[in-house]
Amino acid sequence: MNFIYNQNQISCYDPNGKLLAEVTFPDTDAHTVAINHTFVDESLRGQGVAGQLMEAAANHLRSQNKKAVLTCSYAVKWFEKHPEYDDVVK
């Protein structure tokens, strides 16, 4: 999956520009973001794409020395299952 990294979003689009998957994490302060939304198109559900997005977001935030507040229900569940990323959660 080829993800596009923007300041507060990681996403993936089909060749026609249709959004297929995304995770959004707006800044709450200079060192913190809120992971507030995860979306995966029906055509990709059940293939682990949401997990790939979360891992990409966690690694991206870690590389920027940022912490995340989890307001997206999927993000809460994902981070509970992946304690190796506890250092990213505020």
Contact 76, 69 (CB under 8 A): no
Mean pLDDT, rounded, for 19-31: 97
Note the pLDDT of residue 1. 79
Determine the CATH number of domain 4-88.
3.40.630.30
Note the pLDDT of residue 16. 96
Distance CA 90, CA 67 (A): 5
Distance CA 39, CA 20 (A): 8
Q: Where are the alpha helices (DSSP H) in 1-90?
A: 49-63, 73-81
Note the pLDDT of residue 42. 96
Mean pLDDT, rounded, for 6-17: 96
| Secondary structure class of 62 (helix, strand, coil) | helix
Residue ranges of the domains in the chain?
Answer: 4-88
pLDDT tens digits, one per residue of 55-81: 999 999 999 999 999 999 999 999 999
Residues facing 44 on adjacent strands = none
Pairing of strands 32-35, 67-70: parallel
Average pLDDT value over all residues in the chain: 97
